[in-house]
Structure 1
Amino acid sequence: MLVHICCSVDSHFFLKKLAQKYPQESLQAFFYDPNIHPFSEYRLRLLDVKRSCQTLGIVLHEGAYNYEGWLEAVRGFENEPEKGKRCTICFDNRLEETAKKALELGENVITTTLLTSPKKSLSQLENALATIARKYGLESVAPDFRKQGGTQEQFALAKEAMLYHQDYCGCSFALRVQREQQKRWVDELSSPLRPQVLPSSIEERIALYEKVMDYEAEATPFRLMREKFLNYRLLRGWVRKSEGSVLPSYILFYSTCKKERIKSKIEFIAEGVGYFAKEEARFLSLECFNAIAHARYDSVKEMLQNPPTIACEIRVREAICGRFSFSLSPLIVLDEVEMGGYELCVESKSYPDIRENLVLIG
């Protein structure tokens, strides 16, 4: 039997149940999900599926990431609701590739872990499976493992195995609607302005789960613990001297302004820090930043191309604004800080978020 895999939370439970229900079947897994966007999210889900299949002893095959082909398939149905026509097309797209892979591997039965997802329609999936299977001369099975507390068992198993529990199906169209209903910003679809790993980003999660796999391979005891925190994203920003051109500038993490653009002047400079008359903004000379951060940047341009870590930026903020005060004042690094007028633009978002931390035990 070839099992189409959508994510580790669904597949870990589904594969265990399948093995119990069909003990005579040899199970193989197929990860084909070109609907997942962005590609970094695809990589993260595939990484955790590999981890799950390795634990269960299931052979995993990966299909191509044909996102352009998937977009073309659902063109015109972007505004369909969850469980609507777009979902049917999406199921057909993924299950047809599963059927082709089954023929290639010599398997004669197909199914999908999507059947365990509480947000998906069982009848929609059953019909899609049956139709695709008939088209390719295969059999299909669509067991309902959700009933009799199955969904609760599934989530408990995922928590015990510390699997990556995503909170959207992967489709960017469904994600936008979901975030609008939650009144949350869609940070999954944003990218950093600089080559930097941001807190609670997909890239940070990939690094975390790679470490998880290393610790599991080494049999190192650990737990994944969730943490609430204030997250931040810089959307755009720049600085220029009054009546002058834009200056190379580096805006530190948590820099927040009430207004997008502010014109004012530096009132005084102390130890390489210029104090702006508005928005409690402070301008740091590159020499000042290097001294606090123990860095060796020759220019702000170099800093933009090879940015410090967020942890380093926060340490500099604590040194400038005080260790025990949570500051959102704009902190901007310039090559040189001079008296006079400046225009400052900072467009950013600060929002409550949750991230996972890896805690070693013992």
Structure 2
Amino acid sequence: MLVHICCSVDSHYFLRRLRADFSNERLIGYFYDPNIHPYSEYVMRFLDVKRSCDQMGIELIMGEYDYEAWLSGTKGLENEPEKGKRCVYCFEFRVGNSAKKAVELGEKSITTTLLMSPKKDFIQLENALNNAVRGYDLTAVAIDYRKNGGTNEQFELAKKDKLYHQNYCGCVFGLSKQREAQKLPVSELMSEINGRILPGSIEERLKLYERVRECESGGVKFHLSRKYFLNYRLLRAYVKFNNSILPSFFFLYSNFKRENVKFSLNETAEICDELRDGVTLLSLKRFNKLSKKNYKNVIEICKHPLDVNDELSLRREICGDFSQNPIIILDEIHAGRYEIYAKNVTYNDSREILSLE
């Protein structure tokens, strides 16, 4: 039996139930989910599915990431609600292509772990399976394991085995609508140009679950706990000096009350910390002294910034604990007219923390 797999939380329980009910069947997992966006999230989910399948000794095949092909079929369906026409198309696309894979491998039946998801319409999925096998020598298997407490058992097992529990379905349209309803930024689509790993980012989760797999393979006991914190993203920012844009670096948690701040300086300085809206300017020279670095210019800082924890530590040193003062590094601070254009967002967020037992 070919089992189309969407995520580890659904497949971990579903595969166990299938193995019990179809004990004579060889199960092959097929991760085919080109709807998942961004690609880093796709990789995150695949790696955790592989971790789950490895624990059960189930072969797993990674399908092609046909994102453009999937996306082309969503035209006109972008604003459909959850369980609407876009979901029907998505199920047909993924399960239909999984059926082709089953035929290629010589399998005789097919199912999908999407049937386990409490947020999916069971009838839509059953129809997708039946449509997928039409014209093939394949049997569609649509079993509702959610019933009789199955969903509760599913989540208890996922929690016990420390699986990655994503917080959105997968596609960019569902993600955008969900974050809009939550009044949160779509941080999953944001990352720093220099590739630094930001708190609460998918890149941070990838690193975390890499450690999880290392601990499990090494027999090291560990614990995962969810911690809540104030997250931050800088959406755009630049500095003008006498109508010319300057190279600049904005510290994390530089929180701006307004998108445009203007002020004038009467003299050259290494640090200016009593400016409008709490803005603090640092010269490169003063930044190098404080950070014990030897950057040649601000552009170099932008390309190779401090580690996030080191930057936050330096923020505390400059502005004190819990500060959200805008801190901006410039090559030099001269007398003249300054204009700062910036927009940021701060929001309540959570992240998982791994601690060794």
Same fold (TM over 0.5): yes
Task: Please say if 1:345 is aligned against 2:341.
Answer: yes
Task: Please say if 1:307 is aligned against 2:283.
Answer: no
Task: Please say if 1:258 is aligned against 2:294.
Answer: no
SS of 2:278's equivalent in the other structure is coil
Report the equivalent of 2:152: 152
Report the equivalent of 2:319: 321
Sequence identity percentage: 51
Report the equivalent of 1:192: 192
SS of 1:212's equivalent in the other structure is helix
SS of 2:285's equivalent in the other structure is helix
CA contact (8 A) 2:238 2:248 kept: yes
Range 299-308 or range 174-183, more displaced: 174-183
Q: TM-score, normalised by structure 1?
A: 0.95
> Which of 260, 271, 276 is equivalent to 1:273?
271
Q: TM-score, normalised by structure 2?
A: 0.96
Gaps of 5+ in 1: none
Task: Please say if 1:224 is aligned against 2:220.
Answer: no
CA contact (8 A) 1:274 1:283 kept: yes
- In the alignment, the residues of structure 1 paired with residue 193 and residue 267 of structure 2 have an alpha-carbon distance, to the nearest angstrom, of 30
Report the equivalent of 1:16: 16
Report the equivalent of 1:126: 126
- In the alignment, the residues of structure 2 paired with residue 216 and residue 296 of structure 1 have an alpha-carbon distance, to the nearest angstrom, of 40
Task: Please say if 1:354 is aligned against 2:345.
Answer: no
- In the alignment, the residues of structure 2 paired with residue 184 and residue 310 of structure 1 have an alpha-carbon distance, to the nearest angstrom, of 22
Cα drift, residue 193 of structure 1: 4.4
CA contact (8 A) 1:261 1:345 kept: yes
Task: Please say if 1:333 is aligned against 2:329.
Answer: yes
Report the equivalent of 1:168: 168
Cα drift, residue 289 of structure 1: 1.8
Report the equivalent of 2:246: 247
CA contact (8 A) 2:256 2:342 kept: yes
- In the alignment, the residues of structure 2 paired with residue 85 and residue 5 of structure 1 have an alpha-carbon distance, to the nearest angstrom, of 21
SS of 1:208's equivalent in the other structure is helix
- In the alignment, the residues of structure 2 paired with residue 49 and residue 290 of structure 1 have an alpha-carbon distance, to the nearest angstrom, of 45
1:171-203 C-alpha deviation (Å, 9 max, x unpaired): 111122222222222222223344321111111
- In the alignment, the residues of structure 2 paired with residue 292 and residue 157 of structure 1 have an alpha-carbon distance, to the nearest angstrom, of 49
- In the alignment, the residues of structure 2 paired with residue 42 and residue 294 of structure 1 have an alpha-carbon distance, to the nearest angstrom, of 39
Query: How many residue pairs end up in the alignment?
Result: 357
Once superposed, which parts of structure 1, at least 4 consecutive aligned residues long, lie more than 3 Å away? 266-270
Cα drift, residue 26 of structure 1: 0.8
- In the alignment, the residues of structure 2 paired with residue 79 and residue 244 of structure 1 have an alpha-carbon distance, to the nearest angstrom, of 42
- In the alignment, the residues of structure 2 paired with residue 52 and residue 245 of structure 1 have an alpha-carbon distance, to the nearest angstrom, of 55
Equivalent residues in 2 for 1:51-200, closer than 5 Å: 51-200=51-200
Cα drift, residue 268 of structure 1: 7.3
SS of 2:25's equivalent in the other structure is coil
The alignment yields a C-alpha RMSD, in angstroms, of: 1.5
1:27-62 C-alpha deviation (Å, 9 max, x unpaired): 110000000011111111111111111111111001
CA contact (8 A) 1:195 1:307 kept: no
- In the alignment, the residues of structure 2 paired with residue 276 and residue 340 of structure 1 have an alpha-carbon distance, to the nearest angstrom, of 16
CA contact (8 A) 2:96 2:128 kept: no
SS of 1:135's equivalent in the other structure is coil
1:133-154 C-alpha deviation (Å, 9 max, x unpaired): 1232200111111011111110
CA contact (8 A) 2:254 2:327 kept: yes
